[in-house]
Structure 1
């Protein structure tokens, strides 16, 4: 069953729209709070379509993500208990609660231990929203939180932009050819990462 190929083709359509930069920024914003689709899904085809603007697109994604990260943090800090039923209905509650336990364990070490964990978390196939809500709930210091979000998400989007900027049409052809196995591998990695968070929270 092909799932990721059609999604990629849809993302390509969005990427060619004249409002695509605004869509990318908006997607990056809501993904940091609740939306399940990572902004790289739009960033990649947009960068492929206009390689010379890849770094500008990555910057727009960072701006949206950082704004969303702040909103997610404050929602986690002030509104998590009220929104628990919604997360349970969306199937997100176990991942967020596991993220809370992991962030709490790092906070017990030091705020900078949380910083390095969140920076590394930027490369994990775990949705950003898990870390934004968990950080707000636990009360990660704002300096460490903002820096970790900026570095963690920044290295992902800028490395993607760099790869496409250098790869050009070959990068697009490779991505289109292997999008289905890449999508399934990412899904498996996400499931493994959530299982690891659950395991960490219980030990």
Structure 2
């Protein structure tokens, strides 16, 4: 718990720095490719620190996240086998996964962009499975935008005090969306 408390204190202190906005956008970009910490962690306190600019923070967080997602897509498109080493799976399983992903491309990308699922995995996979790039970009903008505008609005309005409850309920909401999607696919 001490490590988590220290991290929270660090993020709260960072959110008050002049360069916090740029760190937020950088994290938004790299999180879509490889970085393990989602930008929400910094977006929330930055939006709390300067409530008037919450829309700006949400917009640019979305923009840089989608730009990073496009880089992830291109990496998947050109280098997925080298990065992940898909050669450990047989080609029939890859083919089945590609068909499933392509048949559900909008839903898969939306879920990855909006829920706690790791968006970076889906950016690489979308490129590897050659999902239509325009569909990928538009769906990413909508899903990431919804997520970041909701986070930024809530924290600009109600403050950092709701962080623990918000995270808990956001994850529950994300899991409900995943369950609904799975029911849709398999029923």
Scaled by the length of structure 1, the TM-score of the pair is 0.73
Q: Indicate the RMSD between aligned Cα atoms, in angstroms.
A: 3.2
Instruction: Quote the residue 1:14 is aligned against.
Output: 14
Give the distance between the partners of 1:101 and 1:10, measured in 2 at CA. 44
Is the Cα contact below 8 Å between 2:45 and 2:155 reproduced in 1? Answer: no
Query: 1:154 is matched with which residue: 145, 163, 168?
Result: 145
Is the Cα contact below 8 Å between 1:114 and 1:140 reproduced in 2? Answer: yes
Instruction: Quote the residue 1:173 is aligned against.
Output: 161
Give the distance between the partners of 1:119 and 1:39, measured in 2 at CA. 17
Is the Cα contact below 8 Å between 1:103 and 1:135 reproduced in 2? Answer: no
Is the Cα contact below 8 Å between 1:47 and 1:164 reproduced in 2? Answer: yes
Secondary structure at the counterpart of residue 56 of structure 1: helix
Give the distance between the partners of 2:96 and 2:145, measured in 1 at CA. 25
Is 1:68–2:68 an aligned residue pair?
A: yes
Shift of 1:182: 4.3
Is 1:136–2:127 an aligned residue pair?
A: yes
Instruction: Quote the residue 2:53 is aligned against.
Output: 53
> Structure 1: where are the runs of 5+ without partners?
88-92
Aligned residues: 172
Give the distance between the partners of 1:75 and 1:155, measured in 2 at CA. 25
Is the Cα contact below 8 Å between 1:99 and 1:131 reproduced in 2? Answer: no
> Structure 2: where are the runs of 5+ without partners?
none
Scaled by the length of structure 2, the TM-score of the pair is 0.78
Instruction: Quote the residue 2:100 is aligned against.
Output: 105
Give the distance between the partners of 1:100 and 1:3, measured in 2 at CA. 43
Secondary structure at the counterpart of residue 122 of structure 1: helix
Is the Cα contact below 8 Å between 1:44 and 1:164 reproduced in 2? Answer: yes
Give the distance between the partners of 2:137 and 2:95, measured in 1 at CA. 17
Instruction: Quote the residue 2:117 is aligned against.
Output: 126
Shift of 1:31: 0.2
Is the Cα contact below 8 Å between 2:101 and 2:129 reproduced in 1? Answer: no
Shift of 1:103: 5.8
